[in-house]
Structure 1
Amino acid sequence: MSLLAIIGGSGFATMPALQVSEARTVDTPYGATSAPLLRGQLGKREVLFLPRHGAAHHLPPHCVNYRANLWALRAQGATQIVALAAVGGITPRFSPTTLAIPDQIIDYTYGRDHTLYDGTSAGVDHVDMTAPYCEALREALISACARVGQAVVADGTYGATQGPRLETAAEIRRCERDGCDLVGMTGMPEAGLARELGLCYASLAFVVNWAAGKSDGIITMQEIEDNLAGCAERIVTVLTSLAAQIASTTTIND
């Protein structure tokens, strides 16, 4: 039986729609997870939920223990993972409040524990990342959006930056030259670790601001919070539909 896990990003430290039945602290070889893993019902389907930045949103992107988070979700039975991502829009298709399901990623991060193969145990696996997201889960997300009548951009390249500061206008111009459509701070090493663990992983991104230099003014937290609020209910509707779809099928394979 497939089990969906949701990793909550900014704006999703909690998920009020989730009827929690259990909160579990999971011991991992990599230390503590961002918060206890929550198991509960979303709609009528069982899911796991883990807030990436902690229940109090206290962990900046470069301090998240991505290895522990992904390992713990798999240990608790997750087979598919949807990572929620609040992002900035770079190219014209990705205006604020747009929902997107990226299909590519460029990693600009540094100094993060980005692999399970760190020399402390035997063996190395050079995982293929040609397609960094699970295509079957991406298609399931696209279908879920269609079922609930939510418009979504069904592709795009996510640029993962170090954070926690926002980017300069020149950095965003570089990202755009590189082919990025979106910019966020948590997409890597999360996607790579999921692949190492054999998990089917996709991202549901929601644009909360134009990236630096793409609008007339500066980026404010009020703007971001307002756009987060405008996306939250739509995202929960999509996830509820997705959970029902996954629970009624066999495991989605990469």
Structure 2
Amino acid sequence: MNDQPRPLADIGVFGGSGFYSLAEEAEAWEIETPWGEPSAPVTVAAFGDVRVAFLARHGTDHRYPPHKVNYRANVEAMRQLGVRALIAPFAAGSLRPEIKPGDFVVCDQIVDRTWGRESTFYDSFEDGPVHIPFADPYDERLRRVVLDAAAEVGVTAHDGGTVVVVNGPRFSSRAESRWHRESGWHVVNMTQSPEAPLAMEAGIPFVGIALVTDYDAGLDEDPDVEPVTQEAVFAVFEANLRKVRTLLDAAIPEIAATVSES
């Protein structure tokens, strides 16, 4: 590991299931936080003039299940590096027949159904109460940049959608999946909370990009659709990882330009 003083980074990226590295030529940095170690060393690489910090949220060997990820340390590590925006690609199950495996959803809302997770930096109010506004979890400027980048590179990206976050590591029952769909939600995931609220507390603009890998527990409209399996999720994500990288390559410079103007 490099033991020189940490560089600042412009943009942070969290990698999800099947997405464990961003660049071949990168410096790895061990970062200490008040909440322990992040899931993995943070790697910093140059994308043109933009320095990008990458962190695999589950660890580089996927050792941490979603309910055991140290989300506070992960977000704090990015804050320490000085990132001005956080991009969070994540695998998701679709709750809608029109949102197909291989599609992206650039989410605009979130519903948290997790429990037992450390979801705030404020373990006490000794300096006074802190209740952050969270009406709009995802930064609208960053959403627009990602949608424009998707159109530029020719990938299907749905504009807006609600992600419901479940605790995992199991998938949903048919009844749960039906409830989520009837509630009007669009995709289901296991890690967007507390990532999104912690980024909001840290003052880092945040955008979540769902890569749809499956139809969750199936579709009532199509009995031939099988419930999700772990093998199917990883296979679809791996098959579409090139699209994730292509989208990030297009979006990162524009995101850096956008946040530098603010």
TM-score by length of 2: 0.90
Deviations 1:24-82 (A, max 9, x none): 11111111100011000346632110000001111000000101110110110111001
Deviation at 1:243, TM superposition (A): 1.4
Determine whether 1:243 maps to 2:239. Answer: no
- Does the Cα contact within 8 Å between 1:101 and 1:152 map onto a contact in 2? yes
Q: 1:93 aligned to 74, 91, 98, which one?
A: 98
Deviation at 1:225, TM superposition (A): 2.3
Q: 1:218 to 1:149 in 2, by over 3 A?
A: closer
Determine whether 1:182 maps to 2:187. Answer: yes
Structure 1, gaps ≥5 residues long: none
In the other structure, the counterpart of 2:4 is none
In the other structure, the counterpart of 1:137 is 142
Deviations 1:156-214 (A, max 9, x none): 10000000011101011111222211000001011000001110001111001111132
Percent of residue pairs bearing the same amino acid type: 35
In the other structure, the counterpart of 1:11 is 18
**Structure 2 Cα separation of the partners of residues 82 and 35 of structure 1:** 17
Q: 1:84 to 1:118 in 2, by over 3 A?
A: same
Instruction: Read off the aligned partner of 2:14 and give its amino acid letter.
Output: I
| Structure 1 stretches of 4+ moved >6 Å | none
**Structure 1 Cα separation of the partners of residues 218 and 26 of structure 2:** 45
**Structure 2 Cα separation of the partners of residues 2 and 26 of structure 1:** 13
2:260 aligns to what SS in structure 1? coil
Instruction: Read off the aligned partner of 1:3 and give its amino acid letter.
Output: D
Determine whether 1:111 maps to 2:120. Answer: no
Structure 2, gaps ≥5 residues long: 1-7
**Structure 2 Cα separation of the partners of residues 32 and 53 of structure 1:** 12
Alignment of 1:1-254 (within 5 A): 3-15=10-22, 18-42=23-47, 45-119=50-124, 122-214=127-219, 216-251=225-260
TM-score by length of 1: 0.93
What CA RMSD, in Å, does the superposition of the two structures yield over aligned residues? 1.8
Q: 1:168 to 1:250 in 2, by over 3 A?
A: closer
